[in-house]
Amino acid sequence: MTELPDIGLGTWQNEDPEQCAQSVRTALEMGYRHIDTAEIYGNEEAVGEGIAQADVDRENFFLATKVHASSTSLTYDGVIETAHNSLERLGVDYVDLLYVHWPTGDYDPEDTLPAYDDLYDEGLIRNVGVSNFEPFNVEAALEILDAPLFANQVEMHPLLQQDELQAHADEHDYNLVAYSPLARGDVFDVPEVVEVAEKHDVSPAQVSLAWLRETGAYPIPKATSESHIRDNFESLDLDLDAEDVATIDAIEREDRHLDFDVAPWNQ
């Protein structure tokens, strides 16, 4: 299986086509090697434009997208059709990772996942992923998938530490990818995070991203401006010591930003 880069660029809510393309190009040319998008974001064409503009060969970066749960998208035929449409919008011959975006709506492991296996066998997707899955969802998927499960993408940050999911990922040998790794900006005001940031003379964003890396997760912070894209990228130069990690581990909050009744953790 492919190795995930330590940090990626998230593109959720990056809906202005010109801005989205520019942010993807900026990130790739800065050194990012992981770009994350999704069918439902409505920006795959813009992401593809940024990829085309960047002076980085396709085989040198990791590209992920997702099939959304709807009335038909996660049926077998829906997955096949959506995947082909995503490839066309992105302007690429393959994606490195295709996720099931949510285990909701028309998601049925026995109908949905064989389509991922077939796309994997054809080489149109290099890896299979799931998103917003709880351990019980992952285990049900593992029983059906022939292809290796590569990743589970979930909300994860110092205010939602996802210890159980990380332990499950470690046990079953798949990656945990962290979306909203800055808790939509809330980490900037967390005393423990600010304390560590001041100690190292870096931003709270860098501390949060470095902490996620220490836990074994792979953050994909969303950013549009060059300054924020660069600040996040520079988190790779930050090495937290054991005391720093313990300080953040001790935060006893569970602030979930994306939540609704049919989400698997509410079942």
Which residues are marked as active site? Answer: 41
Environment class of residue 57 by beta-carbon count within 10 Å: exposed (0-12), middle (13-18) or buried (19+)? exposed
How far is residue 140's CA from residue 61's CA, in Å, rounded to a whole number?
30
Query: Which are the contacts of 147, defined by CB distance < 8 A and separation ≥ 6?
Result: 116, 117, 120, 121, 127, 128
Place of tokens 């902490």: 211
CB 149 within 8 A of CB 123: no
| Helix, strand, coil distribution of the chain in percent, nearest 5 | 50, 15, 35
CB 58 within 8 A of CB 33: no
Strand partners, 222: 10
In sequence order, which ranges of 41-149 are alpha helices (DSSP H)? 44-53, 76-90, 109-122, 135-144
> Dihedrals φ, ψ of 99, to 5°?
-100, 150
